[in-house]
Amino acid sequence: MNDRMVWIDCEMTGLSLTDDALIEVAALVTDSELNVLGEGVDIVIRPPDAALETMPEVVRQMHTASGLLDELAGGTTLADAEEQVLAYVREHVKEPGKAPLCGNSVGTDRGFLARDMRELEGYLHYRIVDVSSVKELARRWYPRAYFNSPAKNGNHRALADIRDSITELRYYREAVFVPQPGPDSERAKEIAARLAAPAAP
């Protein structure tokens, strides 16, 4: 892996990989210090009529409030959206299979990417950086940090949600993670030895 991190957020008509459709995809690439590289991309996708007809009411209300629903008629195709995202990612990540997929609850996004944008999904490393995992651990171990985390402003639009996720990780890095440069090698070895499971008989 290299130091690049590929942040992707998707908006869908629901969470079912069987019935629901991608309607927006956005991407930002950062370096390991969470500095954004380039302008990113944010693309609205026109879904099949059937996916719109079966959209759960709560999702319809969410996408109406965000303004996304009104933009769908002018959306592009899945193939064109994938091509645009891949072009941006390749501009900043030169080798396939090197940069992890990053975001919030990003396993759901990866499922839709694997279904609808296989070339893009395959360009990413198999590992993910899920900010929601950090958040769940902070809630249990560092509740003061969790309850004072930055407010979200994304309003269920893909690019704004990514920016929120990057801000969250910046916050948790500073509020929760061990300050730089971290433990020295001897201290790290001591911790590992203390926590290592005993060898199997």
Active site amino acids: 126
Q: Is the Cβ–Cβ distance between 154 and 160 less than 8 Å?
A: yes
Sequence-distant (≥ 6) Cβ neighbours of residue 125 within 8 angstroms: 1, 97, 98, 99, 100, 101
Taking 3-state DSSP, the helix, strand and coil percentages for the chain, each rounded to the nearest 5, stand at 50, 15, 35
CA quadruple 100, 103, 108, 113: dihedral sign: negative
Q: Structure tokens of 76?
A: 């592009």
